[in-house]
Amino acid sequence: MACLPVPYPDELLYSVIARYGVYAGITSPKQLLDEVFQNRKIIASVAFQGHLSQISAHYQGNSDLTPYKLLQGHTLFPLYSPFVYPNIAAQAKHELLTDCRHSAEVQLGKAASKVKSPHYLRYCPFCVTAQIEQYGEPFWIRRWQLPSLSVCAEHGAQLINSPILISEAHRHQFTALSPNVLLHSTPNLTNSKITMITAYAQQLLNLPERLIHPAQWSYFYQDLAYQLGFVRGKHVLHELIANLVLGYWGSHTLSCFGIAVSKEDTNWLKCLFRKHRKSFSYLQHLLVWQACYEQKLDIANILSTASALPHAPYEDIPISTEPVVVDQTRRAKWQRAVAKFGVKGARQNGFAHLYTWLYRHDKQWLMQFNQSSAKPKIAKTGRVDWSKRDKRYVRQLILLINKAETQLGSSRHTVTWLVTHAHIPLSQIKYLEKLPLCKLFFNKYCETIEEYQCRRIAMACIRCIAKHQILRTWRIERMAGLNEKRTRPLASQLLGFAVKYEPS
pTM over 0.85: no
> For every one of its 504 residues, what pLDDT tens digit does the chain have, with 9 covering 90 and above?
568 899 999 999 999 999 999 999 988 888 999 889 888 888 888 989 889 998 998 888 777 889 999 999 999 999 999 999 999 999 999 999 987 877 888 888 888 888 888 889 999 999 999 999 999 999 999 999 999 999 998 888 899 998 888 876 678 889 999 887 787 777 777 778 999 999 999 999 999 999 999 999 999 999 999 998 898 888 899 999 999 999 999 999 999 888 999 888 889 999 999 998 888 999 999 999 999 988 788 999 999 999 999 876 554 444 444 567 888 999 999 999 999 998 888 988 889 999 989 988 898 999 999 998 877 766 656 678 899 999 999 999 999 999 988 888 888 999 999 999 999 998 888 889 999 999 999 999 999 999 999 999 999 999 898 998 888 888 888 888 888 778 888 888 888 888 876 554
CB 357 within 8 A of CB 351: no
Q: Are the CB atoms for 36 and 169 separated by under 8 Å?
A: no
pLDDT of residue 391: 94
CB-count exposure of residue 244 (10 Å: 0-12, 13-18, 19+): middle
Give pLDDT, residue 1.
54
State the sign of the Cα–Cα–Cα–Cα dihedral 304, 308, 310, 311: positive
CA distances from 487 to 474, 476, 481, 484 (A): 12, 12, 10, 6
Under 8 Å between Cβ of 188 and 159:
no
φ/ψ of residue 30, rounded to 5: -70, -35
The reported pLDDT for the residue numbered 315 is 47
Q: Which residues of 170-179 are buried (b: 16+ CB within 10 A; e: fewer)?
A: eeebbbbbee
Torsion of CA 85, 86, 91, 93, to 10 degrees: 110
CA–CA dist 214, 218 (Å, integer): 6
Q: How many CB atoms lie within 10 A of CB 106?
A: 11
What is the distance, to the nearest Å, from the Cα of residue 81 to the centroid of all Cα atoms in its chain? 14
The span from the CA of 99 to the CA of 37, in Å, is 9
Residue 381 is predicted with a pLDDT of: 60
Which of these, 263, 227, 229, lies nearest to 246 by C-alpha position?
263
Neighbours of 263 (CB within 10 A): 6
Bridge partners, residue 157, by sequence:
189
Residues whose CB falls within 8 Å of the CB of residue 326, separated by 6 or more in sequence, listed in order: 362, 365
Judged on CB neighbours under 10 Å (0-12, 13-18, 19+), 342 is: middle
Beta carbons of 79 and 204 less than 8 angstroms apart: yes
Residue-wise burial string across 316-341, b where 16 or more C-beta atoms lie within 10 A, e elsewhere: eeeeeeeeeeeeeebbeebeebbeee
Quote the pLDDT of residue 472: 87
User: Among residues 39, 59, 55, which one has the least CA distance to residue 96?
Assistant: 55
How many CB atoms are located within 10 Å of the residue 426 CB?
10
pLDDT value, residue 488: 85
Instruction: State how far the alpha carbon of 489 is from the alpha carbons of 112, 284, 484, in Å.
Output: 41, 55, 10
Q: Which long-range contacts (CB under 8 A, 24 or more apart) does 437-446 make?
A: 437/390, 437/391, 437/393, 437/394, 438/390, 438/393, 438/394, 438/397, 441/394, 441/397, 441/398, 441/401, 442/415, 442/418, 445/397, 445/401, 445/413, 445/418, 446/413, 446/414, 446/415, 446/418
Q: Which residues contact 46 (CB under 8 A, 6 or more apart)?
A: 12, 14, 121, 140, 145, 166
